């Protein structure tokens, strides 16, 4: 058996060797600086919300963001820490510790690279939309719930990883909220929501257009930091919780590993790989729609780049990384034309880390919580719940079931159950579509009845074949199957026909197959059923029947 052909390693960046102009470089430079500024507060917030130190979020945005842009298969996608990982990372961190989180991330990187090399990028598209929407909305709810602790100023309260535990803790301690923290979080939400966002569009003019050039999250970060430092507000800050941020990337180090710990990381590793693949390829598809003038992304190359990034970033203490829709859209709207913009974004974050890290000690966590509340709201596809009544039972069950399981259990269980349920529904639906009906073939010899097979004869539909022998009219001498509308058949279908043939033969009733398509006919020959039936029992059309077999 020949080995599968591996996907060639061709980063999109290599396509710039010809035709890359100074004008395009200047556009990429401006876009990269813009998205780098936007990524700064998000990298801090995502790391803290995941239970990690803020510099780990910055390291991920710098290292993984650089590698994804250098080796990726998209022209404009920006990689880094993502909100979708917050809940998963927090859960892994609580159950298995930091070292095992880093190892699981590296394992996910290996899986992602392997998926891309084996050309499996297209398989991610086969995950039903209902499942993607359900777990995305569920993650958004969990992100918002987790931010309420810092938004309420409950810095002394330990938060569990599960939904009901978090609700219980928040309910028990809500009365002790910090009004300064609530006001800061509310102000952060308001500024992010109302700040002008039509960057680069002619719809804005004058002052509003200039304000739109400043990212709302950066405005929140700067304003909240200045207010906390100058007014001496009683708020928990990055400095009070973490002691500040070092002015350098974390030292390169291999995480501690033990065989007992590795045995427990199979499910976390698969979860991170699956989520990373889904998020990155969904983001790349969004980027394709927004940039029709640029080449479409290469999903397999993108997965290989995500794999490299997730393999290397943990060596610097980084968290899982993937493509990020918000930063990618910002990159596109700022005028990006190539992966150079992503490289500039990573380098600009590195410069900010080296120069301005000491200023982060005054960043209030309540402001970051407010930013993430808006991120959670924007992440959810909430109008889908209002539209559920328009869709069938299967779609509603998958979406709501995946959503509820994501919230009350975890993402892995939700996706596993969702995929199994979607397969069951698909098999049931395909089985329902397969029909056996009487066929009007004109005048047939006495005792010959004709039936038309429609659809796919597979393991989920063979019951209809098995029941046919008991439904034949008295005096039947031959059964003819008109099969021109039978598009596909599996081995279970072949065995059902074989059992029907043997049952009919005991009653001296012949089975004739007419007008068979290529795939069913090939399977009948390879399985030996065609030889068992005989050449006279397989005819090009019913019209060729001159007399009863």
In tens, the pLDDT along 69-100 reads: 999 999 999 999 998 898 889 989 988 899 99
As a whole number, mean pLDDT of residues 185-204 equals: 74
User: Residue 360 — very low, low, confident or very high, per pLDDT cuts 50/70/90?
Assistant: confident
The proportion of the chain whose per-residue pLDDT surpasses 90, expressed as a percent, equals: 45
* Res. 504: pLDDT tops 90: yes
CA distance 334 to 199: 7
Q: Report the alpha-carbon distance of residue 476 to residue 468 in Å, rounded.
A: 12
Strand 538-539 relative to strand 448-457: parallel, antiparallel, unpaired?
unpaired
Task: Compute the distance between CA of residue 460 and CA of residue 481 in angstroms, rounded to an integer.
Answer: 19
The stretch 23-41 carries a mean pLDDT of 90
User: Residue 540 has what pLDDT?
Assistant: 87
For the entire predicted model, the pTM comes to 0.79
Domains detected in the chain: 22-382 (no CATH), 434-544 (3.30.750.24)
Q: What is the distance of C-alpha 276 from the center of its chain?
A: 7
Q: For residues 265 and 107, is the Cβ–Cβ distance under 8 A?
A: yes
Q: What percent of the chain has pLDDT over 70?
A: 95
Torsion angle of alpha carbons 513, 519, 525, 527, nearest 10°? -110
- Structure tokens of 268? 């976390």
Average pLDDT over residues 505-516: 92
Q: What is the DSSP string of 446-473?
A: TTEEEEEEEEEESTTTHHHHHTGGGGPP
pLDDT at 492 over 50: yes
Reported as a single tens digit per residue, the pLDDT across 199-219 is 444 455 566 667 766 778 888
pLDDT in tens, 223-234: 999 999 888 889
- Whether the pLDDT of residue 239 is over 80: the answer is yes
The answer to whether 242 and 54 are in contact (CB under 8 A) is: yes
pLDDT reported for residue 129:
83
Quick: pLDDT tens for 418-476.
Answer: 888 888 888 888 888 899 999 887 777 888 899 999 999 999 999 999 889 888 888 89
Cα–Cα dist 149/236, whole Å: 11
Using CA atoms, how far apart are residues 420 and 416, in angstroms rounded to an integer? 6
R_g of the chain computed on alpha carbons: 30
Residue with tokens 């398509």: 517
Q: What is the pLDDT of residue 197?
A: 65
What are the phi and psi torsion angles at 303 (to 5°)? -65, -40
Residue owning tokens 């301005």: 356
Average pLDDT over residues 120-129: 81
Average pLDDT value for the chain: 88
């Amino acid at each position: 058996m020949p080995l599968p052909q591996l996907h060639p390693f061709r980063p999109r960046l290599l396509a710039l060797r010809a035709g890359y102009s100074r004008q395009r470089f200047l556009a990429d430079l401006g876009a990269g600086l813009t998205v780098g500024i936007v990524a700064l507060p998000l990298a801090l917030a995502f790391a803290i919300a995941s239970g990690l130190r803020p510099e780990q979020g910055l390291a991920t945005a710098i290292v993984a963001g650089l590698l994804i842009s250098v080796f990726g298969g998209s022209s404009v996608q920006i990689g880094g820490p993502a909100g979708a990982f917050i809940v998963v990372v927090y859960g892994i961190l609580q159950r298995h510790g930091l070292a095992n989180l880093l190892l699981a991330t590296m394992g996910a990187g290996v899986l992602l690279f392997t998926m891309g090399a084996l050309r499996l990028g297209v398989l991610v598209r086969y995950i039903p939309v209902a499942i993607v929407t359900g777990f995305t909305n569920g993650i958004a709810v969990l992100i918002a719930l987790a931010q309420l602790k810092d938004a309420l100023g409950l810095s002394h309260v330990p938060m569990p990883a599960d939904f009901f535990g978090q609700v219980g803790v928040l309910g028990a301690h809500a009365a002790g909220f910090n009004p300064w923290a609530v006001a800061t979080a509310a102000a952060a939400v308001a500024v992010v929501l109302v700040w002008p966002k039509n960057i680069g569009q002619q719809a804005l003019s004058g002052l509003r257009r200039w304000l739109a050039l400043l990212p709302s999250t950066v405005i929140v970060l700067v304003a909240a930091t200045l207010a906390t430092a100058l007014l001496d507000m009683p708020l928990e800050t990055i400095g009070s919780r973490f002691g500040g941020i070092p002015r350098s990337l974390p030292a390169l180090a291999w995480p501690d590993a033990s065989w007992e710990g590795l045995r427990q990381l199979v499910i976390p590793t698969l979860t991170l790989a699956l989520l990373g693949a889904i998020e990155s390829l969904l983001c790349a598809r969004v980027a394709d729609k927004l940039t029709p003038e640029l080449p479409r992304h290469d999903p397999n190359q993108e997965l290989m780049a995500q794999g490299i990034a997730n393999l290397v970033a943990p060596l610097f203490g980084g968290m899982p990384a993937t493509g990020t829709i918000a930063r990618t859209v910002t990159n596109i709207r700022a005028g990006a034309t190539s992966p150079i913009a992503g490289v500039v974004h990573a380098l600009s974050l590195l410069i900010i880390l080296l120069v301005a890290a000491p200023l982060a000690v005054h960043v209030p966590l309540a402001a970051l919580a407010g930013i993430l509340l808006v991120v959670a709201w924007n992440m959810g596809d909430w109008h889908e719940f209002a539209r559920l009544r328009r869709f069938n039972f299967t779609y509603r069950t998958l979406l709501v079931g995946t959503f509820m399981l994501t919230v009350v259990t975890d993402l892995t269980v939700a996706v596993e159950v969702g995929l199994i349920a979607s397969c069951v529904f698909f098999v049931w639906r395909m089985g329902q579509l397969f029909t056996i009906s009487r066929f009007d073939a004109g005048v047939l010899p006495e005792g010959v009845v004709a039936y038309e097979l429609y659809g796919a004869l597979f393991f989920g539909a063979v019951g209809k074949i098995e029941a046919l022998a008991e439904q034949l009219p008295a005096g039947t001498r031959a059964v003819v199957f008109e099969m021109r509308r039978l598009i596909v058949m599996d081995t279970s279908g072949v065995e059902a026909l074989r059992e029907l043939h043997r049952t009919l033969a005991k009653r001296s009733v012949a089975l004739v197959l007419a007008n068979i398509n290529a795939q069913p006919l090939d399977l009948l020959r390879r399985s030996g059923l065609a030889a068992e039936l005989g050449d006279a029992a397989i005819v090009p059309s019913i019209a060729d029947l001159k007399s009863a077999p």
